[in-house]
Amino acid sequence: MFDLIHTIHLFSAFIYGGFLIVDNLFLARMGETLSPEEATRAREAIMMHVRKVVPWALLTAVGTGIYMFIYVFGEIDSEGMSSFQIILSIKAFLGLWLGFRGFNQKFFGINPWVFKSHLFPFLLVLIIIFLSQAMFIAL
The number of angstroms, rounded, from the C-alpha of 8 to the middle of its chain's C-alpha atoms is 14
Amino acid (one-letter) located at 115? F
- Terminal CA-to-CA distance of the chain, rounded, Å? 23
Residues of the chain above pLDDT 90, percent: 79
Domain assignments of the chain as residue spans, ordered by start: 2-137
pTM > 0.85: yes
For residue range 18-51, list pLDDT tens digits in order.
999 999 999 989 989 999 999 999 999 999 999 9
pLDDT, tens digit (0-9, with 9 covering 90-100), for 95-120: 999 999 999 988 988 876 666 678 89
Distances (CA, A) of 108 to 76, 102, 103, 114: 37, 10, 8, 17
